Structure 1
């Protein structure tokens, strides 16, 4: 399957501008005795570890929260965040490339992470990426006009 997806990664400035376009608000995360707001657009990916979720941010930092990946998925923007595998949710703003293979499709992110795409979710994942890129083209054409 030939994938004309992912032309080039977005710059940090582009990511912040697009975050406004996609209405990506801050995400409130629970910690011991308090809550903390985190900018949703700075999340590169989320990784499920049992009843915990490990956040990977654009600046390289990581944060673990005592909520399941499923609970976190419902709090994220569905236009930008997709779940290519049961253990990961990725932010399409940080998608670098898609690597189709006969055995296992995978994606690479701008932070160097490479994530497998489950075979059962591969076609849905491709549709989500194509929809996201159509949305980007629409936003870019409106910005130019």
Structure 2
């Protein structure tokens, strides 16, 4: 079935600009003997692999940490990150399209990844996407009005 594009995907400049508006602080991740801060807004997707989580970043790099996806979910901004499936969390700033199929709903991200949405979570996921997009429109209107007033 044909892809349904909800809105135009955001450019890197828009992601950087919007990230500050969505309370997305740096994420401190544990490594062998030290901790490292990573910019939360540059995370495209998190993928659960047992007791590990693989981070997929906007620049194409990946990073594995020894924390479960459930633990990582509690550290992320719930306004921007959603969990469409038990193995994945996606950043809505990088959402490209939603693809309905007769059996399975999936989403595509601007880095080319495609993630399935579980049937149980599909309606909640769609509500979260619509709420996020409404907030983007509100932010866009606010920025436009601020520029006009200046």
TM range (shorter): over 0.9
Q: Gaps spanning 5+ residues in structure 2: where? A: 146-150
Q: Which residue of 2 aligns with 1:103?
A: 103
Per the TM alignment, residue 128 of structure 1 is displaced from its structure 2 partner at its CA by 0.2
Q: RMSD value over aligned CA atoms?
A: 1.2
Deviation at 1:7, TM superposition (A): 1.4
Taking structure 2 as the reference length, the TM-score comes to 0.93
CA distance in 2, matches of 1:87, 1:125: 15
* Equivalent residues of 2:45, 2:89 under 8 A apart: yes
Q: Which residue of 2 aligns with 1:134?
A: 134
Counterpart mapping for 1:43-82 below 5 A: 43-82=43-82
Q: How many pairs were matched up?
A: 143
For the Cα contact (< 8 Å) 2:19–2:41, is it kept in 1?
yes
Give the CA deviation at 1:102: 1.2
Alignment-derived partner of residue 122 in structure 2:
122
Matched residues in 1 for 2:132 and 2:4: separation? 13
Tell whether the 8 Å contact from 2:4 to 2:98 is kept in structure 1 after alignment. Answer: no
Q: Secondary structure at the match of 1:119?
A: coil
Runs of 4+ in 1 over 6 A off after TM superposition: none
| Equivalent residues of 1:5, 1:130 under 8 A apart | no
Question: Which structure 2 residues correspond to residues 19-38 of structure 1 after superposition, within 5 A?
Answer: 19-38=19-38
Q: C-alpha displacement at 1:6, in angstroms?
A: 2.1
Distance in 2, Cα, partners of 1:67 & 1:138: 35
CA contact (8 A) 1:47 1:54 kept: yes
